[in-house]
Amino acid sequence: MADALKDNPMKRVYACLVFCLFLAGPAQPAKAQAVDPALIRTFAGHSDDVNSVAFSPDGRHALTGSRDNTLKLWETASGRLVRTFKGHTAMVRSVAFSPDGRYALSGSGDKTFKLWEVATGKLIRTFAGHLDWVKSVVFSPDGRFALSGSVDKTLKLWEVSPWTKPADGPPVLPPVVAETPPLPDAPPPSVRP
């Protein structure tokens, strides 16, 4: 047997592998992944990756945005799916609640972001203007404006208050936004003669 192993290097490699497997013992079944005891609940319902999540201001709901082109609203206490928002033609990259929790924003790979009424799931308005994916959306602290960030390397400020009504009355008109001076380390704007 030793002479046969000397003459054929492949047989030597094979013999070493067999010997190593013998030393290792029988194969052990894969161990189940331990679940962290801090885990409270798993929300399942999207048909593809979840890209973004947000808590409602009161913490009673969660909003998710997915590669399946939808948003989903969940009850956090039970994990129950409340509703699915449909309207994007590409993956939802970002979601956000308004400060009062009555509205939601969603940014998408379809180069738009959308304003939704949370209570009904109704699409209120689609905002277009980016040249590439909208990767991030957020409401201003007073809920009257939205910011959208895109792969097109721009950040855009939008008025949303004409389409959102405060709980106690008619729509709030946005204030006049004055041009802000450049930051100290920014180059000065060009001056025309």
- Residue 27, both tokens: 């194969």
Please tell me the pTM assigned to this model. 0.68
**Are 156 and 129 within 8 A, CB to CB?**
yes
**Total count of domains within the chain:** 1
In this structure, is residue 149 part of a structural domain? yes
In this structure, is residue 146 part of a structural domain? yes
> Which is nearest to 108 in space by CA: 125, 89, 123, 124?
89
Residue range 134-192, pLDDT digits in tens: 999 999 999 999 999 999 999 999 999 877 765 555 444 344 444 444 445 545 545 44
In this structure, is residue 77 part of a structural domain? yes
Q: Report which residue type is found at 114.
A: K
Residue range 3-40, pLDDT digits in tens: 655 666 656 655 654 554 454 556 555 555 667 888 88
**Are 86 and 94 within 8 A, CB to CB?**
no
CATH code, domain with 125: 2.130.10.10
In this structure, is residue 174 part of a structural domain? no
Mean local confidence (pLDDT), 116-130: 94
In this structure, is residue 35 part of a structural domain? no
pLDDT at residue 180 in the model: 45
In this structure, is residue 101 part of a structural domain? yes
In this structure, is residue 188 part of a structural domain? no
H/E element, 19: helix 9-24
The domain of 155 spans 50-163
* 128 pLDDT more than 70: yes
In this structure, is residue 30 part of a structural domain? no
